[in-house]
Amino acid sequence: MIDGKKVLLSGMQSTGIITLGNYLGALKNWVDLNDDESVQCFYAVMDLHSITVRQDPATLRKNGRTLYALYIAAGLDPEKNCLFFQSHVPAHAQLAWILNCYTYMGEMSRMTQFKDKSAKHADNINTGLFTYPVLMAADILLYQADMVPVGKDQLQHLEIARDIAGRFNGIYGDVFTIPEAYMGKSGAKIMSLQDPTKKMSKSDENPNGSILLLDDTDTIMRKFKRAITDSDGFIAYSEDKPGIKNLIDIYDAVTGNTPEQTVAEFDGKGYGDFKMAVGEAVASTLKPVQDEYARLIADKTYLDSMMKENAAKASYYANKTLRKVYKKVGFIELPR
């Protein structure tokens, strides 16, 4: 709790320009919490996590700044929310080391994301990829977060964070708040436009699979035009029609429709017309975010000052927890 408010923590990796999936599944829901006075939200650009997969330094720098500006452009108020870079708060790495010593190899070996990512990046199965959930536990526990919005893919990692916190508290007394999964408005899971059985990802090798938040209208329309559907020729909301189902989910997420309303709206229409309508709805939703982004990214002074202010604010809370942990573990405090 901070000033009587529950604490919520989340973030995104700066591994690319975020996708429509990141926006509809996470960022848009965070923005909806802006005016909720009962919660103090921390949102990080998770750049430490990003390097578990090899990144080009200049691109990582650019993606980090872009993501930070997109957080604000999408509507996150940097005065109300704490918007910061994970690497600007060294306590994340410091606590992660300590928690590593309270986490078992067996626990990490069971993580499905490790299995998936190491299969995908077989040439770079580094120990950071293996201990990623420990860093995520540190991210959460440093801020004594009560709530963590997670998709199904991250539930296993949150469970580990809870286990580590419980284990640490069991030895040293109440140090960490045990975080709960936050199920806000159900964030749609958006699938790739080229393979609707796979989630839309910012690091997808196929550029046509993902709508990026900074794609211009022509690119958005072209990607939707090429979206993989099926050969049935009719619009229905069914698991047997994953391509069309995904387009309906996207359309509903931006228009507020229910699947039934969308199916009725496009009754008798062809896939071509439907794809165009989805493309137009998405492009007009993203346009104001893109315009605001263009304004912000040109304002270096403002972005830099927000970064500094918010890093200091995050560090204040993070260091408070870290000091407590150091003391409990038995480290000697630096004499004043």
Any idea which residues carry the catalytic annotation? 117, 199, 202
Quote the least distance from Cβ 10 to ligand AQP, whole Å. 6
Nearer to ligand AQP, 21 or 279 (CB): 21
For ligand AQP, the closer of residues 157 and 241 by Cβ is 157
Among 7, 22, 73, 158, binds ligand AQP (CB under 6 A): 22
Q: What does residue 8 show for φ and ψ, rounded to 5 degrees?
A: -125, 135
88 or 324: whose CB is closer to ligand AQP? 88
User: In the set 28, 199, 245, 275, which binds ligand AQP (CB under 6 A)?
Assistant: 199
Contacts of residue 247, defined as CB under 8 A and 6 or more positions apart, other chains included, come to 224, 227, 229, 274, 275, 278
Q: What is the 3-state secondary structure (H, E, C) of the chain?
A: CECCEEEEEEEEECCCCCEHHHHHHHHHHHHHCCCCCCEEEEEEEEHHHHCCCCCCHHHHHHHHHHHHHHHHHCCCCCCCCEEEEHHHCCHHHHHHHHHHCCCCHHHHHCCHHHHHHHHHCCCCCCHHHHHHHHHHHHHHHHCCCCEEECCHHHHHHHHHHHHHHHHHHHHHCCCCCCCEEECCCCCCCCECCCCCCCECCCCCCCHHHCCECCCCHHHHHHHHHCCCCCCCCCCCCCCCCHHHHHHHHHHHHHHCCCHHHHHHHCCCCCHHHHHHHHHHHHHHHHHHHHHHHHHHHCCHHHHHHHHHHHHHHHHHHHHHHHHHHHHHHCCCCCCC
Choose which of 8, 9, 21, 286 interacts with ligand AQP (CB under 6 A): 21
Name which of 144 and 192 has its Cβ closer to ligand AQP: 192
Q: Which one among 7, 8, 9, 12 touches ligand AQP, defined by CB under 6 A? A: 12
Give 95 or 129: the residue with its C-beta nearer to ligand AQP.
129
* Residue 223 found at the interface with ligand AQP (CB under 6 A): no
**Which residue in 55, 201, 246, 321 binds ligand AQP (CB under 6 A)?**
201
Size of the site for ligand AQP (CB under 6 A): 19
Q: Is 129 in the site for ligand AQP (CB under 6 A)?
A: no
Identified binder of ligand AQP from the candidate list 5, 189, 313, 328, rule CB under 6 A: 189
Q: According to the binding rule CB under 6 A, does residue 288 interact with ligand AQP?
A: no
Site for ligand AQP in 44-83 (CB under 6 A): 46
Report if residue 209 touches ligand AQP, rule: CB under 6 A: no
Task: Give the binding range for ligand AQP (CB under 6 A) out of 56-64, 99-107, 186-194, 242-250.
Answer: 186-194
Q: Which stretch in 135-143, 161-169, 182-190, 264-272 sits in contact with ligand AQP by CB under 6 A?
A: 182-190
Binding site for ligand AQP (CB under 6 A): 12-13, 15, 19, 21-22, 25-26, 46, 151, 154, 187, 189-190, 199-203
